[in-house]
Amino acid sequence: MIKVYTANRPPLSDYSTVDVLNNIRKDEIKYIADQTDNHWRKVFNVYAKIVFALADKSNNSKVLALKTWQGYRDECLLQKGSETELYFDNPLSQKGMHQFDGQGIRIVMGKGYAEVLLSGIDLSWVDADFAINERERVIVCPYFDYRQLSNLKIERLVNFVWEMINEG
């Protein structure tokens, strides 16, 4: 399970009180991207690239059958059985970040948000962009935007996730 945490949420009334996106409709990502700015398209694209790269490392035939990260994004990301979730806003710190169930990997987008969300959780900063807490299975990375999380940084993030998956 790859759980991603963001300080933002889609600026649509349907999502004003939603804490997590998972088990969404097949066309919901497209709907959000079409109804908002390019920002959300980038977030979903980066998330799909990460999961598709992990599938390549693990030879996950279910994901790789979709041929591209775009196919994965459109057909599976955040849908039932995808093992992906997207959490919104600060209330998450009370909703489980400190009572982690040990399932999956948690990725927090952005250093500033991580400081708020992860207060009380020790992080080891690998460099200016990435921090890790292996025991809590948390990785802090730049925001899911091509300017902040380039393809090279996506590759580094995928390697951190892969190492964490293989350790636990």
Phi, psi of 23 (to 5 degrees): 55, 40
pTM exceeding the 0.95 threshold for the entire prediction: no
Write out pLDDT tens, residues 13-65.
Answer: 999 888 889 999 999 999 999 999 899 999 999 999 999 999 999 999 999 99
| Structure tokens given for 140 | 């802090």
- Residue range 98-117, pLDDT digits in tens: 455 667 899 999 999 998 88
Structure tokens at 71: 């196919």
Distance set, CA 8 to CA 13, 34, 70, 111, 122 (Å): 14, 17, 22, 14, 23
Which residue matches tokens 């919901």? 28
Record the tokens describing residue 57, joined without a space.
């490392």
**Closest by CA position to 51, among listed 12, 79, 27:** 79
Beta pairing partners, 46: none
Does 132 score more than 90 pLDDT?
Answer: yes
**Euclidean distance between the first and the last CA atom of the chain, given in angstroms as a whole number:** 12
Mean pLDDT of 149-167: 95
Per-residue model confidence (pLDDT) at position 17? 87
> For residue 13, how many other CB atoms are within 10 A of its CB?
7
**Cβ atoms of 121 and 20 closer than 8 Å:** no
Q: What is the mean pLDDT of residues 70-75?
A: 97
